[in-house]
Amino acid sequence: MEQVIKYALTQLHPRKLLIAMPLYGYDKVVPTNATHALSVLAAQNQAILISAPIQFDATTKSPWYRYWKGTEEHIVWYEDIRSYIEKYKLIDVYELVGTTFWQISLPAPQNWAYVNRNIAVVKQ
């Protein structure tokens, strides 16, 4: 996300730029790349249910895990509180207007708890 922000700032002023927080994840079948979208809560719950070790990618600053369904390998990328905090920091670092959310109807309780405790919401 930071690379996209840096590029966007070469095209417009930071006070005109919002970032979008994804409230969903993707379950991808390897090697076909067929994907299934799911809420961040469903992604996290699935990892817990199947005892998949959750990894945290230092480059993308996002969690992911791998599991097998029969002979199909699946890789799931999603957001959690760690990745949301990293994205909120980018708003401050680059002095952006703020954020919006993709798929706001999906459950993302960690995000909303963080927003309620740490973010001043300003409607314009």
Q: Are strands 98-102 and 18-22 parallel, antiparallel or unpaired?
A: parallel
Calculate mean pLDDT across residues 85-111: 92
Token pair of 66 as six digits:
């791998």
Q: Is the pLDDT of residue 123 over 80?
A: no
pLDDT at 74: 97
The rounded Cα 34 to chain-centroid distance in angstroms is 19
pLDDT at 119: 87
Over residues 26-77, the pLDDT tens digits come to: 999 998 989 999 999 999 999 999 999 999 999 999 999 999 999 999 999 9
Tokens 């708890």 correspond to: 113
pLDDT at 106: 87
Domains in the chain with CATH codes: 2-118 (3.10.50.10)
Residue 11 in 3-state DSSP? coil
